[in-house]
Amino acid sequence: MNLRRLFAIVMKELRQMRRDRITLAMIVGIPVMQLVLFGYAINLNLRGLDTGIADLSNTAASRALVMDMVATGVIDPAVSATSPQQLMEGLRRGEISIGVVIPPDFERRRFEGREAVQVLVDGSDTVVQSAAVQLAQLPLNTQPRTNASTAGAVGQTGPGQVSVVSFYNPQRRSAINIVPGLIGVILTMTMVLFTGVAIVRERERGNMELLIATPLSSSELMIGKVLPYAAIGLIQTTVILVLGVWLFDVPIRGSLLDVYLAAVLLILANLTLGLLISTKAQSQFQAMQMTFFVFLPSILLSGFMFPFAGMPKVVQWLAEILPLTHFLRLIRGIMLRGAGLFELWPDVLALLAFIMVMMALAISRFRKRLD
């Protein structure tokens, strides 16, 4: 490893990047755009959902319950119905997103500790779903079955008196996880893509034939290519954190240093993966296809979209291979639960192992040969 040659590659990359406006725009544009898009979806789920209410009991207690629900601001009582069927009809037509059914025997059910209220949810929209879950957490002398750990309801009577029935999509997710997770998603997308394309572009334009005919070594070339993008990854992380805190009040309960260390681990994991892709792809288009091949499972299986615990064992093993899975555990632990990076050492180790294996594979696969 010769530092002068390594530095030459890094300088060259930075100079080229500076002149590549589209890449420059993507570096900041992608995080800002995604964050704002996802971020406002988070905001939406707390306000004014069109709701149909079928109060079949119509007692003082049931009317008080409805008023409590409306007072949260989550629902907006748009339709008043006389039967659960009417509500389901409204859901199907999209007139309402949530239906609240209070059965005629509401008082007795409540007294007996059985399910007293049913909330019908348009589960095809996950944002609506999480709002409904919050609705079910209202301290109505009840404790929701689905979220037993929620602090507010502790000490109240009877489990499962408000039940949430989700139509069309049995999954549930929690909105608070999105912004920390988004750091991982954006880094996964941009880092793999940037490095994958960076080397293949060199091959497409014919620069590679020049480079491999010089004394430059494989590791100098690979590491020199990766370093500038690692810096970009840190810039992106910063953009997301600043916007996340400023626009959406996302908490950073752990140390900021730990957040960045975790980000560095994910960045390196993705960059080395990108390098491996670049040794295989013949064209920039192929590199992009392969990036998507990694990106989709990352988003779907890592726990960003769907809860990890709910997946079949085989899929979980698969997800354990993906760097994003480990990063999500780290970043949620650090930012939301205030954990220290090294308390979460299994995931740190997993990421380190991933980086080592990918780098070794990439360097051994890269030949200073054309055949």
Interface positions with another protein (CB under 8 A):
2, 4-5, 7-9, 11-12, 15-16, 19-20, 205-207, 209-216, 368-371
Q: Is 244 helix (H, G, I), strand (E, B) or coil?
A: helix
Cα(98)–Cα(295) distance, integer angstroms: 33
Cβ closest to another protein, residue 22 vs residue 60: 22
Q: How far is the CB of 8 from another protein (least distance, A)?
A: 3
Q: What are phi and psi of 75, to 5 degrees?
A: -110, 155
Rank residues 10 and 176 by Cβ distance to another protein and give the closer one.
Answer: 10
Choose between 118 and 217: whose C-beta lies nearer to another protein.
Answer: 217
Least CB distance from residue 291 to another protein, whole Å? 22
Minimum distance from residue 208 beta carbon to another protein (Å): 8
Nearer to another protein, 18 or 63 (CB): 18
Q: Distance between terminal CA atoms of the chain?
A: 24
Rounded to the nearest 5°, which phi and psi values hold at 55?
-90, 95
Q: Exposure string (b/e) for 229-241, b if CB count within 10 Å is 16 or more? A: bbebbeebbebbb
Tokens of 182: 């988004």
- 212 contacts 366 by C-beta, under 8 angstroms: no
Which residues in 152-169 are b (16+ Cβ under 10 Å) and which e?
Answer: ebeeeebebbbbbebeee
Residue 42's nearest CA partner among 144, 175, 154 is 175
CB of 317 to another protein, least distance (A): 39
Closest residue by Cα to residue 352 from 268, 275, 226, 230? 268
* Smallest distance from another protein to CB 353, Å: 30
Least Å from the CB of residue 213 to another protein: 4
How far apart CA 287 and CA 34 sit, in angstroms, is 22
Q: Residue 2 or residue 80: which is nearer to another protein going by CB?
A: 2
Count of Cβ atoms closer than 10 Å to residue 332 Cβ: 19
Give the residue with the Cβ less far from another protein, 42 or 212: 212
Q: Taking the complex as a whole, how short is the minimal distance between the CB of residue 207 and another protein, in angstroms?
A: 5
Phi then psi dihedrals of residue 195, to 5 deg? -70, -40
Please choose, from the candidates 174, 122, 169, the residue with its C-alpha nearest in 3D space to the C-alpha of residue 147.
174
Give least dist CB 294 to another protein, A.
28
Among residues 2 and 174, whose Cβ is nearest to another protein?
Answer: 2
Query: What is the spatial distance between Cα 334 and Cα 345, in angstroms, rounded to a whole number?
Result: 12
Three-state DSSP at 133 gives helix
Output the smallest distance, CB 281 to another protein, in A.
19
Match 């299986």 to its residue by tokens. 301
Determine phi and psi for 104, rounding to 5 degrees.
-60, -35
Comparing CB distances to another protein, the nearer of 155 and 215 is: 215
By C-beta, is 174 or 283 nearer to another protein?
283
350's tokens: 């997993």
